[in-house]
Structure 1
Amino acid sequence: MRERKLLLAAVLALAAVAVPVTGAAVAAPGPATAATPTDQLVVDGGSAQVVNGQRTTVREHPFVIAGMRAGGGGPQGQSCTASVVGKRKIITAAHCMIDAAGAKHYLYGDDDLNTAGDESFRTKLASYKTHPKYTGTGGWQTGYDVAVVTTEDDLPVPESQWVKVAGSGDTALTQPGKSGTAVGYGRTSANGGSGVLYKTTLPVNDATNCQVFNIRVNPDLMLCIGYDDGRTGTCTGDSGGPFTVDGVIVGVVSWGSGGCDRYSIMARLTNEMGDWARSEIGGGTPPGDGKFTVAVNPSSGKADPGKYISATVATTSGNQPERVELSASGQPAGVSVRFQPAAINSGESAKVTFDVAASTAKGSYPITVSAKGTSGTKTATYTLTVGDGGSTDGPKPTASPSSATVGRGTSARATITVAGGTGASRLSATGLSFAPMFFPTSVSPGGSSQMSLFAPFQPGTYKVVITATDTAGRTGSTEFVLTVT
């Protein structure tokens, strides 16, 4: 009888029940309690070996973006991680949209969210779509845990740096034995800190060896990556983040052990889920680096106000010629750019002319020349010097618009353009308890920056003074009036 009781106790000790995000962890070697690794995950104990990744940066992974929500448990409300896949498109996990409550927005450009104000850009969520077969709250347990988000504003990531999305034709990328990289802002251990961008390398496993949870790992819809001892992997706050193989996102972080101490499970994209995501993103796979090259010869020149100067845009073809459209950006006020012709075949050349108005301020201006083809976009820089390149005047910033009326706790934006000054001018602002953010923080004469600011919770009218300081130490300022209702 004693032996029968001991056997019954052992069987009960191995049993587990699926729990939502807030469930407690069940440590190895028994079946691990499954949970989504969002900021809502409540962990108790867990392996000291969880994550063991390396610090990384947005510069190294320029498509990575932080998912924030009102009431989020991470720094500044960070809840999930996501990836930029289009001009206003982001891919993440469906449960980041459905299971995690609270108004959501996205933050870009910060490697450590624990220090506010380091980011370069924020945008609200305009809309989102989860996979049509995602079953709602708790649907991550059965699969289809993928969503495509549309943002209110253009994301500050060039097309060449959008991450490519895998589809049903890319199954070779997720064969067992392949390895890839997971990136996210999640915790560094079950009870460790979060909000810092980390990366780790993880192997793709045969799902039949990953049935160590209290719910099934479905190999048709899920990828099992990492290690059964959790020596490195994803954790709280990594939900929705990318798992890339050979530079292609093949899965998004979906769920894992409640203690972050076993395998990590991804929503698999090398199937119809990836095909669906591509169709929602639009245009199929985002453009890559391109197969051709572009250069401007010479790469710099000087023109007096009221004059012009020309150069040659030269391209080389890749495996085969493709049609290339030419454009320019970053030119100062009063400078127009003409291409003759405006579209060429790769391998051909075009003439580019910079017309300088008499009112154009003296200075040196980097102008970006872009060549867009079917295989991607390439850029080259031409440095235009107007006059002698110097200026006796300090910088003169202007704001457009110069005022805004918003609700409490919401955001406002304006374009700050700087004329004159010597060299690049650094932007700063006063007048609010939470300083506005500028992207970029420094601009050359004639350049512009996007200012983002968040309204106080106290109604009233606030005068924000924006100051530009050039390399000679001279300053200029302008005002932006914010009315909070």
Structure 2
Amino acid sequence: MRARHLIGPLILAVAAAVLPAAVPAAAQGTPPPAIAATPTDQLRPEGGTSPRVVNGQRTTVRENPSLITGLRVGGGGPQGASCTASVVGRNKILTAAHCMIDVSGDKSYLYGDDDLNTAGDESFRTKVASYKVHPRYTGPNSWQSGYDVAVVTTVDDIPVPANQWAKVAGSSDEALTRPGKSGTAIGWGKVSGSGSSGVLNKTTMPVNDAADCQVFDIRVNPDVMVCVGYNDGRTGTCSGDSGGPFTVDGVVVGVVSWGSSQCDRYSVMARLTNVMGDWAKGEIGGGNPGDGKFSVGLSPSSGRVAPGRYVSTTLTSQAGDAGSEQIELSATGLPTGTTATFQPTSIRSGDTSKVTFETTAQTPKGNHTITVQARGASGTKTATYTLAVDDGGTPEGPRPVPATDSATTAPGGIVQARISVTGGQGSSRLTATGVPMAPMFFPQTVAPGGSSQMTVFAPFQAGVYKITVTATDEAGRSGSSDYTLTVR
């Protein structure tokens, strides 16, 4: 992972404190203090850039199931990626405070994608319901003083089993951050100060004595910070890794906070082996306690269909305290002539299944409540679906309508447009073609009369690109509109 990140600013401050005032730094062969910066997507190297990649190894979300990507509108990483974070509860995320209040733009989270450069690989997206930063993180750039930790509450439950949530350190775990310990940092950040980002990487770094890390233009405070890595930046964190975990012995002991602006010195973490970790654990709470068994839900939980047509939904599941288990799916309460098809019919808790309800001409009109059952070793869970059968569906297919039909940007730029959907039967799924990297939609599925934000990643070659936006409804009917992107 781009082990280099916010370390630059720290280096400058430390050097200034260490070098004798009467002797020029150059005369002693000691590099000047590094300019400290937070490793967000806004990090910009100052002066030259290091030609060396911050050495790390590729890894996956499957190997690190508590990792999740922080996005923001206007974020500089692929798909708007801005920060890395850890899942610590059913709808709780641990990240850096500066990821929430030091940068603007609506924020959301994406789960399940190892390489953000290819859109559409994720398995889950959710918006931010609320967040709390440590009470002593008093405003933008407070990372310079520490307390750079935040707990985020998401709108939707995150599909990560409880036994795979990240474990957070507290004041009783002080021994885990003593100098000489070794830990792992993981993130989607840059692989060098001027390198690319968006691919999940990890690296192993030692914990250092803070006295050896005073090489930045601000002080590394050991009371609220943990200095890890190497003074030559051979490996470390970088822009985009902010908020990600530094884990020792399976416990998150620090949150990626800052480092050198060129990602070529030490990496500095917000310390959790103190009252900061105790505060975070208190905000996380019990992780929405349940009965310890797996859970299931349907999204959406209702749909409308004409007799002889079909409608689909997605069954989501979460593992219980006992971990993942095999669950068998079925449905009861189906109206006359209606069948339920599960794809697949057997899943592991934590996975999803597509459910399709297909009616016939004999299916009676009206609202029908269908019960979907999931049976596992720990018991049976159910979710209900309301199926409305009538002829109220629009005879024509859906039509996506861009708020504006064109935009101009620089090569490699990002353009966003609001897309409204009219007509169609049930919700419509939005897709688009016409540029090398397929545009993204948030949300991707909208109800008639609803809207979605389309994000277009401009090609690096100048020209005029015709983007075709397509909406496909639950009856399989489609409608399209054109959007023109000029790159110059």
- TM-score tier, shorter chain, comes to 0.5 to 0.7
Within a 5 Å distance, the mapping from 1:370-381 to structure 2 comes to none
2:335 is aligned with 1:333:
no
Letter paired with 2:147 = Y
Distance (Å, rounded) in 1 between the aligned partners of 2:71 and 2:401:
20
Q: Give the superposition deviation at 1:72.
A: 1.0
Letter paired with 1:39 = D
Asked whether the 8 Å contact 2:444–2:452 carries over to 1, the reply is no
Letter paired with 1:240 = G
Judged with a 3 Å threshold, the aligned counterparts in structure 2 of structure 1 residues 457 and 247 are, in CA distance, closer, same or farther, namely closer
Asked whether the 8 Å contact 1:181–1:200 carries over to 2, the reply is yes
Within a 5 Å distance, the mapping from 1:6-405 to structure 2 comes to 11=24, 29-44=31-46, 45-283=48-286, 331-334=329-332, 365-366=345-346
Judged with a 3 Å threshold, the aligned counterparts in structure 2 of structure 1 residues 210 and 155 are, in CA distance, closer, same or farther, namely same
Judged with a 3 Å threshold, the aligned counterparts in structure 2 of structure 1 residues 187 and 270 are, in CA distance, closer, same or farther, namely same
Letter paired with 1:333 = A
Q: Give the superposition deviation at 1:212.
A: 0.9
Judged with a 3 Å threshold, the aligned counterparts in structure 2 of structure 1 residues 177 and 284 are, in CA distance, closer, same or farther, namely farther
Equivalent pairs counted in the alignment come to 353
Question: Aligned with 2:89: secondary structure?
Answer: coil
| Partner residue, 2:463 | none
Question: CA offsets, 1:419-451, max 9 Å, x none?
Answer: xxxxxxxxx96665568899xxxxxxxxxxx97
Q: Give the superposition deviation at 1:160.
A: 1.3
Question: CA offsets, 1:367-408, max 9 Å, x none?
Answer: 6589xxxxxxxx9779xxxxxxxxxxxxxxx999x9999997
Asked whether the 8 Å contact 1:334–1:359 carries over to 2, the reply is no
Question: Aligned with 2:329: secondary structure?
Answer: coil
| Partner residue, 1:464 | 472
Asked whether the 8 Å contact 2:161–2:323 carries over to 1, the reply is no
Q: Give the superposition deviation at 1:163.
A: 0.5
Question: CA offsets, 1:236-294, max 9 Å, x none?
Answer: 1111111111111110000001111110000000111011001111128999xx9xxxx
| Partner residue, 1:455 | 452
The TM-score with structure 2 as length reference comes to 0.62
Judged with a 3 Å threshold, the aligned counterparts in structure 2 of structure 1 residues 12 and 63 are, in CA distance, closer, same or farther, namely same
Asked whether the 8 Å contact 1:159–1:286 carries over to 2, the reply is no
Question: Aligned with 2:71: secondary structure?
Answer: strand
Letter paired with 1:109 = G
Question: Aligned with 1:119: secondary structure?
Answer: coil
Distance (Å, rounded) in 2 between the aligned partners of 1:224 and 1:180:
11
Distance (Å, rounded) in 1 between the aligned partners of 2:156 and 2:202:
27
Distance (Å, rounded) in 2 between the aligned partners of 1:406 and 1:399:
27
Q: Give the superposition deviation at 1:47.
A: 3.0
Asked whether the 8 Å contact 2:69–2:84 carries over to 1, the reply is yes
Distance (Å, rounded) in 1 between the aligned partners of 2:322 and 2:35:
53
Q: Give the superposition deviation at 1:102.
A: 1.3
Letter paired with 1:464 = T
Asked whether the 8 Å contact 1:93–1:254 carries over to 2, the reply is yes
**Of the two structures, which has the highest relative contact order with CA contacts closer than 8 Å and spacing of 6 or more?**
2
Identical columns (%): 59
Q: Give the superposition deviation at 1:50.
A: 4.5
Asked whether the 8 Å contact 1:176–1:206 carries over to 2, the reply is yes
Judged with a 3 Å threshold, the aligned counterparts in structure 2 of structure 1 residues 380 and 97 are, in CA distance, closer, same or farther, namely same
Q: Give the superposition deviation at 1:365.
A: 3.1
Asked whether the 8 Å contact 2:246–2:253 carries over to 1, the reply is yes
Asked whether the 8 Å contact 2:50–2:194 carries over to 1, the reply is no
Q: Give the superposition deviation at 1:48.
A: 3.0
Distance (Å, rounded) in 1 between the aligned partners of 2:324 and 2:45:
53
Letter paired with 1:159 = A
Judged with a 3 Å threshold, the aligned counterparts in structure 2 of structure 1 residues 135 and 480 are, in CA distance, closer, same or farther, namely farther
Judged with a 3 Å threshold, the aligned counterparts in structure 2 of structure 1 residues 72 and 399 are, in CA distance, closer, same or farther, namely farther
Judged with a 3 Å threshold, the aligned counterparts in structure 2 of structure 1 residues 331 and 246 are, in CA distance, closer, same or farther, namely same
Q: Give the superposition deviation at 1:115.
A: 1.4
Letter paired with 1:83 = S
Asked whether the 8 Å contact 1:165–1:285 carries over to 2, the reply is no
Distance (Å, rounded) in 2 between the aligned partners of 1:224 and 1:176:
9
